[in-house]
Amino acid sequence: MSRSNRRANRGLEWGVALLLSELYRTGYDVIPPVTLATVVGQILLYIGVINVPWTQSEVCLSAAHVLKGKDYRRLLWSTFEHGDDMHLYYNMISFMVKGRTLEGKYGSANFGFLLAFLCALTSCSYVVLALIGAQIMDDPYIMKSCAIGFSGVLFALKVVTTQEDPRGYTNVAGFLVPVKYAAWAELLAINMLVPNSSFLGHLAGIVAGLIYTKTIIGRLVDNIIRNITGERIYHNYC
C-alpha cells in the first residue's frame, strides 16, 4: 500500500469529524486566516489530501536523526504530523483559541511569521534539550526518542499568551493556578495524565516561548518581522 493511500484509507475519523464540526460551529469567517489555514492544512495532511513523500515515522523529531543523520526536514515536518485523529483534534482546538487571540492582536502577517519562528525554535529546543538530557542522565535513549505533533508549539504559544495577559487564575486538571504559571502546570498535568505524551517536546515549547518573550532574541525577531511586513508587533509585557 502506498504512503498516500495509507493516509487516505483512514476515512473521516471521529476526531476529524469533530474538528470539522467545530470549525463550522465557530464560523470560518470568525477564525483569522493564518489560524484557519494552519488548522485546515493539518487536517488535509492527516487525511491524505495533501500528498507527501514520507510517513509519520520518517519525519518524527529525533535528536539522533537530526544531529547524526543530518535529517533536518524533521525539524519542520514533525510539527505538523499527528499520531491519531484525537491527537489532531485536541491540538487544533487548542490552537484555534490561541491563534484567534494572538493573530487578532498581532495581525495576520506578523502572526504567520511569528508562528513559523516558534515552530522552528521549538524543534531546535527539543534537539538541544535531548542532547543535554542524554548527557546529564547518561541515557542514550533520549537522543533516539521520536516526537510528532503541534503540542510543543502550543506550549510556546501558551507562554506568549500568558505573558500578554498574566492576570488571574486558570483551571488546570481541577486546580486553580496563576495564569502566569499555567504552561508549567499543564506540562506536569499532561505528563501525569497522558504518560505517552512527549514531556521533552512540551518542555521545548515552553523554552521556545520563554526565549521569545524573555530574551533579546524576541526583540530581534520582532524587528525582523516588522521589516518584512511593515507592521510592528505590540506587546503588553516589557
Would you please indicate which residues are annotated as catalytic (active-site) residues? 151, 202
Burial of 83 (0-12, 13-18, 19+ CB in 10 A): middle
For residue 175, the cross-strand partners are 172
> Cα(169)–Cα(69) distance, rounded to whole angstroms?
44
Scanning the structure block, which residue is given the C-alpha cell 515552530? 119
Q: Would strands 175-178 and 169-172 be described as parallel, antiparallel, or unpaired?
A: antiparallel
Give how far Cα 51 sits from Cα of 8, 13, 21, 82, 105, Å: 9, 18, 24, 15, 33
The helix or strand, by DSSP H or E, that contains position 136, with its residue range, turns out to be: helix 108-137
